[in-house]
Amino acid sequence: MQYRWEEIDQLAEILEAEVAGHPVDVDRARELAERLVRLCPDIARTMSRVVERFAPEAATAAA
């Protein structure tokens, strides 16, 4: 499987920023994870969890 390192690196930066307590672009994070679900089926399960984490409903529940 050919990984899309650019997308993975971008998503990693967003997740690291969130962990550090910085504001992040949740729409971009979800978009990247959704793209990786399609491009990299072997990591789709993990990326689906990221999609769920950044879903609009999750942000409302966290507030």
Q: What is the C-alpha to C-alpha distance for residues 21 and 19, in angstroms, rounded to an integer?
A: 5
Q: Which residue has the higher pLDDT, 10 or 61?
A: 10
Q: What is the C-alpha to C-alpha distance for residues 56 and 8, in angstroms, rounded to an integer?
A: 21
Evaluate whether 40 touches 1 at the Cβ level (below 8 Å): yes
Residue 32 has pLDDT above 60, yes or no: yes
Averaged pLDDT for residues 18-38: 96
Q: What is the C-alpha to C-alpha distance for residues 10 and 32, in angstroms, rounded to an integer?
A: 8
Residue 30 has pLDDT above 80, yes or no: yes
